[in-house]
Amino acid sequence: MYKLGHVQKKILLSLAGGVALGLSSSPRQYFKTLKKLQKEWKNINRKNIIRSARKLSEEKLVEEIASPDGSFKLILTKEGLRQAKLLGLIGKSIKFKKPKRWDKKWRIVIFDIPERNRLFRDILRDHLRTLDFFKLQNSVFVSPYSFEKTILELVSLYSAEPYVRVITAGYIDNEKRLKKHFFGK
């Protein structure tokens, strides 16, 4: 993961937001996204923007295309888009559908992510909470719902396979407490 400054993150956000604008399915969503983008750019020094854009270009996260009039255009590269996703700038929430019936199995996510990847660790925890996983310990979450595929896709997106385990279990010793939490039983 790249170490990005505040302005560099905003540039990636804006370029990724441009993608989101292009994918907007309704005028309401388009203007909502545009308003968020405008809000992000208040009080930023022009020199900081230019310096940050050049740094992003050097890192090959954006492509800089110069125009004959002296202006330039920034285009998000594949790696830039990937980094924007890693930062949680776009596609932050995972959509999921809970099954109607429980299959009597528990999904346990265990992770030991190094300190240098703290950002991913925080993003993973946020996604697990979004998926209604129950926190057993700091790095152990459990759910009765079959989200293995969703979690493994997320882990793959962040290239964190060595640090995350997904376990499907038939029994947990504190099952009574978990059933009460998830099903009110």
Question: 3-state class of 82 per DSSP?
Answer: helix
pLDDT of residue 106: 95
pLDDT of residue 90: 44
Taking the domain 106-183, which CATH number applies?
A: 3.30.70.240
Phi, psi of 140 (to 5 degrees): -135, 120
Q: What does the mean pLDDT of the chain come to?
A: 79
pLDDT of residue 41: 64
pLDDT of residue 112: 94
Q: Which CATH architecture has domain 6-86?
A: Orthogonal Bundle (1.10)
Query: Residue ranges per domain, the chain?
Result: 6-86, 106-183
- C-alpha 112/C-alpha 90 separation (Å) is 25
pLDDT of residue 89: 40
